[in-house]
C-alpha cells in the first residue's frame, strides 16, 4: 500500500501527508489539552466561589448571632430600667399622696402667709 501511494504521489507527497497527519494529531492533542485545562480552571473557580460563599455565610451568621445577643441584652436592661422607673414613680406618687393628706389635715389659718405646720411640709 505504501508503494502504491509512493508511486502516485511521490516521496515528497508521502512526507507531506505524514507531516500533515502528525500536525493534525498534534493540533487535536493541543485542543484536547486546552479543553482539559479550561475544565480544570472552571472547576477550581467554582470550588473557590463555593468556599468564599460558605465563608461569608458563616461570617453573616456569626454577625447575626452577635446582633441577636446584643438585642437580648438591651431588652433585658431596658426591662430592668423600666421596672426601676415604675417603682420610683409609684414611690413618688405615694409620697405626694402622703404630703397632700398631711397638708389637708392641717387646719386653715386665716392669717396671711403660711403657718409653721405647712412650712414643715416643704422640702428641706
Q: What is the pLDDT of residues 24-83, one digit of tens each?
A: 999 999 999 999 999 999 999 999 999 999 999 999 999 999 999 999 999 999 999 999
Angstrom CA distances, 59 to 8, 42, 45, 73, stand at 74, 26, 21, 21
Q: How far is CA 15 from the centre of its chain?
A: 68
The residue ranking higher by pLDDT, 104 or 114, is 104
Between CA 9 and CA 4 the distance in angstroms is 9
Residue 121 is placed in which grid cell? 411640709
- The whole-number pLDDT of residue 79 equals 98
Q: Where are the domains of the chain?
A: 2-104
- What proportion of the chain, given as a percentage, has pLDDT over 70? 85
pTM over 0.85: no
Residues 77-101, mean pLDDT to the nearest whole number: 95
- The whole-number pLDDT of residue 97 equals 92
- What proportion of the chain, given as a percentage, has pLDDT over 90? 64
- The whole-number pLDDT of residue 6 equals 67
Q: How far is CA 71 from the centre of its chain?
A: 15
All residues at 6 or more sequence positions from 14 whose CB lies less than 8 Å from its CB, including other chains: 2, 5, 6
Question: Using an 8 Å Cβ cutoff, are 121 and 99 in contact?
Answer: yes
Q: Quick check: 1 pLDDT over 70?
A: no
The residue ranking higher by pLDDT, 119 or 39, is 39
Amino acid at each position: 500500500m505504501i508503494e502504491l501511494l509512493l508511486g502516485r504521489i511521490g516521496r515528497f507527497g508521502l512526507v507531506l501527508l505524514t507531516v500533515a497527519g502528525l500536525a493534525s494529531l498534534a493540533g487535536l492533542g493541543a485542543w484536547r489539552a486546552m479543553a482539559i485545562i479550561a475544565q480544570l480552571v472552571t472547576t477550581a473557580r467554582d470550588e473557590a466561589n463555593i468556599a468564599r460563599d460558605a465563608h461569608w455565610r458563616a461570617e453573616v451568621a456569626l454577625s447575626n448571632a452577635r446582633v441577636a445577643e446584643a438585642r437580648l441584652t438591651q431588652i433585658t436592661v431596658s426591662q430592668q430600667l423600666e421596672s426601676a422607673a415604675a417603682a420610683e414613680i409609684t414611690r413618688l406618687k405615694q409620697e405626694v399622696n402622703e404630703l397632700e393628706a398631711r397638708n389637708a389635715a392641717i387646719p386653715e389659718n386665716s392669717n396671711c402667709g403660711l403657718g409653721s405646720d405647712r412650712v414643715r411640709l416643704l422640702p428641706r
